[in-house]
Amino acid sequence: MKITFNKRSALMACTSSMILLSTMLATQTVSAHGYLEVPPSRALLCQKGVNTNCGGAQYEPQSVGETFKGFPAGVGGAPLQGPVDGKIASGGHSLFSALDAQAANRWTLNEIKDRNVDFQWHYKAPHPVTKHEYFITRNGWNPNEPLKRATFESTPFCAVDGGNQMPAPGVKHNCTIPDDKNGHHVILAIWTVGDTDAAFYNPTDVNILAEASLPGGWSAVGGIAPSTALLEGDKVKARAFSAAGEKPEYSVEISIDDAEQGQPNNWSFKLAEKINATHTLVRAGVRDEQGNIEPVKGNNSLYAQKDSGVTRYEVQLDMKEDAAARLSIASLQPEYLLDKGLAKLEFNILSNRTMNLEATLFDQNNKQVGTTSVQAQSGPAWLSMDVRSNPGAHTMTLVGTTLDGRTTRQDTQVTTLTGEGAGADHDFVFPEGLDQYTAGTKVLQPKTGEVFQCKPFPESGYCKQYSPSANGFEPGVGAHWHMAWDKL
């Protein structure tokens, strides 16, 4: 699959080095965060579900690629710094190591049809900018080998001085891709931070077709992203649309005959093959530099001739529910005792499928006072939940979803909490609802059992600045929590 991008249609070395990297990340008290938004970085396409099997990158693309500054060599003649060869995409962070995988068909390509590109970053936690640089792979690079320094040109094709100033939202870097760069390349976008030792390294995978306005009269109209394993009896449909609505005569559907065919790369290939066999004005596959379009076992793009009237495709999965799946709360006690507002609820559940489970306890005002989540195998399993609440009737809701996402089951039971109440009220149990934290938001810190209130603006902006690798503002725990929170 490819995503078309141009300026007019943009989506607005060694073990000691790794030890130093870990130390830096652990002691970075105020961490910058951001990602290349236009054209979208490899990690951002993971978050959007276009790239798949991305590990932790899909949850926080803003944290990907953070490591020492200095690329491709050390700063000022110093020893080699920056990302380790083979770990350039992840920055050497194990949570994002899936991004270091490199193959010709591994990542979705952004089609570049105009050599004048407006690069744009999205800053989740802005910090002063020393510079932005854009490197591109050498001609003749091997797309099936891990990314190394030697993979890229030694100098950036574009550099923008940041003046050690805070970046303004929406600023674009207008750069020109060299004339000798065509076809599949990787552009490495680097944001060097001014007030830390870090830089962010974001690769974006591109297919440069700047000289051709899609040879043969083809226009990109969508793609087939192989994201989910399917089972026998499931169906996949590529639905065609024109500017006026759906065009069923150009829609194509396949059925999954067995588990092998249901593997994501296989059904993507089968659907692309059937589209090409069914229609002459529509093609599915990957474009090469000569404009040929052939299916692959991976991401396939969709193209249409103007005479078809097709302007876009949507891929629809028809996944049959597992009617035999069962889930229930098996042994919730009728009563639990609160000690200064705190209790640990332990209970047994039963399922006949491996499921991702989430159990939530609500008080009599339907406010969440405790939650826990776990992946449980088929059979009985014990769950434990830390609760902060006041005496009264409570409702336990258990929701389970099979690993393939096709089936969800729910059970609800009631229990009563007695004893001593919690006193101070709260809106969330940290870090739940993180994106909703504003001035005045009250959160319970389960690590200390204390309630904290988010400070007024502008300090309230720090309340949302949290990730497992950057927890300086975590209430009551982080090194700088006093800047964001008041303890109640």
Q: Please tell me the CATH code under which domain 327-419 is placed.
A: 2.60.40.2550
State the fold for domain 2-208. Answer: Coagulation Factor XIII; Chain A, domain 1 (2.70.50)
- Tell me, what's the pLDDT at 80? 62
User: What's the confidence (pLDDT) of residue 214?
Assistant: 60
Cα 409 from Cα 70, distance rounded (Å): 51
Give residues with Cβ within 8 angstroms of 392, minimum separation 6. Answer: 363, 364, 416, 417
**pTM attached to this predicted model:** 0.46
Query: What does the pLDDT read at residue 195?
Result: 82
What pLDDT, on the 0 to 100 scale, is given for residue 215?
Answer: 65
Answer for the pair 422, 446: CB distance below 8 angstroms, yes or no: no
d(CA 341, CA 417): 10
**Under-70 pLDDT residues of the chain:** 1-32, 74-80, 210-215, 289, 424
Measured CA to CA in angstroms, residue 357 lies from 135, 169, 294, 351 at distances of 44, 39, 41, 10
Distances (CA, A) of 230 to 255, 284, 402, 462: 10, 20, 13, 42
CATH class in words for 215-318:
alpha beta
List Cα–Cα distances, 350 to 378, 399, 413, in angstroms.
Answer: 8, 12, 14
pLDDT value, residue 22: 37
**Other CB atoms within 10 Å distance of the CB of residue 179:** 9
* Whole-angstrom distance, CA of residue 59 vs CA of residue 50: 13
Q: What is the pLDDT of residues 339-381, one digit of tens each?
A: 988 999 999 999 999 999 999 999 988 888 999 999 999 999 9
Burial class (CB in 10 A: 0-12, 13-18, 19+), 333: exposed
Is residue 394 within 8 Å of 369, Cβ to Cβ? Answer: yes
Using alpha carbons, select from 196, 206, 64, 86 the residue that is nearest to residue 134.
Answer: 206
Strand, helix or coil at 477?
A: coil
- What values do phi and psi take at 155, rounded to 5? -125, 150
Q: What is the pLDDT of residue 11?
A: 34
Handedness of CA 95, 100, 103, 105 (dihedral sign): positive
**272 CA to centre of own chain:** 26
Pairing of strands 109-112, 2-5: parallel
Does residue 306 sit in helix, strand or coil? helix
Q: 3-state DSSP call for residue 93?
A: coil
State residue 282's pLDDT score: 95
pLDDT value at residue 289: 65
Specify the DSSP element, H or E, that contains 217: none
- Helix, strand, coil share of the chain (percent; to 5): 15, 40, 45
**Amino acid at the residue 100:** D
Give me the torsion for CA of 178, 181, 185, 186, rounded to 10°. Answer: -10
Quote the distance between the C-alpha of residue 249 and its chain's center.
35
